[in-house]
């Protein structure tokens, strides 16, 4: 609670009736802290009325008064962890037009697969309504949807959802993300086995032969529709575990996913940013967290498994550097069971599967 006279703030015990400020003893109408709320908007409104806008956006009070709303609590935690609530807090004294922009910026902080979800839209609407912002109109899901239609090789227009399989350039692709009228596609199957580089030398993604092949003959093989592939600035960060450098940024039409992107688009577990890796424990027959482990392994392993057309599971290359020296002679990979190997394999291994990725204009 916050005293209007001395501006002192405190958190009273639940179920206790409060009649005066503990600091300046200012009297006010009795306020009983409720034990629980079963409605998210009511809980947010109580926090707003009791602690003010800054308390609503900067303090973790929701779980105490709405303990049964675990899904909403987790979503609010994500809002806080990703900085979405900080953006709203910074816009408290802004104009309505600036607050409208802040709402969109806040939503954009969230993982892309959640930004258009009904749960996020509903919760953000609740925050805006409780804050009593004088925006022209509370946003709806339609205001945040990018153009999500795509013209396939056959010419028909298809509605696109994340993870939908679409056809382009003679291959089936999985849609991973939609941004600014572009769609991030990953080849649904391994297209072939190929070396990352022909010789065992320290080589980055910028220099490797697989990059040259993908942006050369593979790109040319996509036919006339390849003009819709967007050349994109690709960052190549170092391996967080081994410290091996990723090399210079590149501009590519076709590329491989990084370790970070693989974690982001296959479950967004956060294990990349938290540097969590695991080792197979033979005695317990399961993976356990271990700072000296080799893998990102979690409930999303199955979704990362890739196959050839004949149904054979295959490990596939990532563009991130692997273990070894400062300038790595290994590249990271996803193994046949869907585990992300942060140590990777030697770049001249010829059994590595190739799953190209690209950004495609979502309409002609």
**Per-residue pLDDT at 161:** 56
Q: For residues 116 and 140, what is the distance between their CA atoms, to the nearest angstrom?
A: 9
Query: In Å, how far are 36, 84, 188, 260 from 79, measured between CA atoms?
Result: 21, 5, 31, 20
- pTM of the complete model: 0.55
**Per-residue pLDDT at 59:** 86
Token couple for 116:
């258009």
Residues of the chain with pLDDT under 70: 1-2, 10-19, 22, 28-35, 112-113, 116, 136-161, 269-294, 324-327, 363-364
**Per-residue pLDDT at 154:** 34
Q: For residues 246 and 308, what is the distance between their CA atoms, to the nearest angstrom?
A: 28
As a whole number, the mean pLDDT across the chain is 79
Q: How many CA atoms lie within 13 A of 251 on its CB side?
A: 2
Long-range contacts formed by 270-277: CB under 8 A, 24+ apart: 271/296, 271/298, 272/240, 272/296, 275/240, 275/241, 277/241, 277/342
Question: Residue 257: left (phi > 0), alpha (psi -120 to 50), or beta?
Answer: beta
Closest listed residue to residue 170, CA positions, set 211, 215, 218: 218
Our CA dihedral for 165, 166, 168, 170, rounded to 10 degrees, sits at 60
CB 75 within 8 Å of CB 119: yes
Greatest pairwise CA separation for the chain in angstroms: 79
266 CB neighbour count, 10 Å cutoff: 22
| DSSP string for residues in 294-312 | -EE-STTHHHH-EE-TTS-
What proportion of the chain, given as a percentage, has pLDDT over 70?
A: 76
**Per-residue pLDDT at 29:** 55
What are 193-206's pLDDT values in tens digits? 999 999 999 999 99
């Amino acid at each position: 609670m916050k005293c209007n006279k001395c501006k002192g703030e405190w958190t009273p015990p639940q179920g206790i009736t409060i009649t005066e400020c503990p600091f300046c003893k200012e009297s006010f109408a009795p306020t009983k802290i409720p034990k629980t709320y079963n409605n998210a908007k009511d809980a947010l409104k109580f926090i707003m009325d009791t602690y003010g806008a800054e308390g609503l956006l900067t303090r973790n009070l929701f779980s105490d008064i709405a303990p049964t709303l675990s899904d909403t609590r987790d979503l609010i935690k994500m809002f806080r962890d990703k900085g979405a609530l900080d953006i709203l807090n910074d816009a408290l004294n802004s104009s309505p037009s600036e607050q409208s922009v802040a709402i969109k910026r806040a939503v954009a902080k969230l993982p892309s697969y959640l930004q258009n979800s009904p749960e996020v839209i509903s919760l953000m609407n609740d925050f805006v309504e409780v804050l009593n912002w004088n925006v022209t109109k509370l946003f709806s899901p339609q205001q945040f949807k990018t153009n999500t239609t795509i013209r396939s090789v056959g010419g028909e227009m298809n509605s696109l959802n994340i993870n939908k399989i679409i056809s382009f350039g003679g291959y089936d692709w999985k849609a991973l993300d939609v941004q600014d009228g572009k769609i991030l596609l990953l080849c649904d199957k391994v297209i072939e086995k190929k070396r990352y580089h022909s010789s065992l030398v320290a080589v980055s993604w910028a220099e490797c032969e697989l990059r040259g092949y993908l942006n050369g003959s593979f790109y040319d093989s996509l036919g006339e529709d390849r003009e819709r592939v967007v050349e994109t600035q690709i960052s190549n960060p170092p391996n967080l575990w081994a410290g091996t450098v990723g090399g210079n940024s590149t501009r590519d039409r076709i590329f491989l996913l990084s370790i970070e992107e693989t974690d982001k688009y296959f479950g967004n577990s956060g294990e990349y940013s938290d540097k969590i890796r695991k080792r197979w424990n033979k005695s317990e027959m399961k993976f356990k967290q271990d700072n000296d482990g080799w893998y990102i392994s979690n409930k999303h392993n199955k979704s990362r498994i890739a196959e050839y057309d004949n149904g054979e599971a295959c490990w596939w290359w990532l563009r991130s550097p692997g273990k070894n020296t400062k300038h790595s002679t290994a590249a990271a990979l996803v193994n046949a069971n869907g585990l992300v190997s942060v140590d990777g394999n030697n770049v001249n291994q010829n059994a590595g599967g190739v799953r190209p990725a690209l950004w495609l204009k979502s309409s002609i």
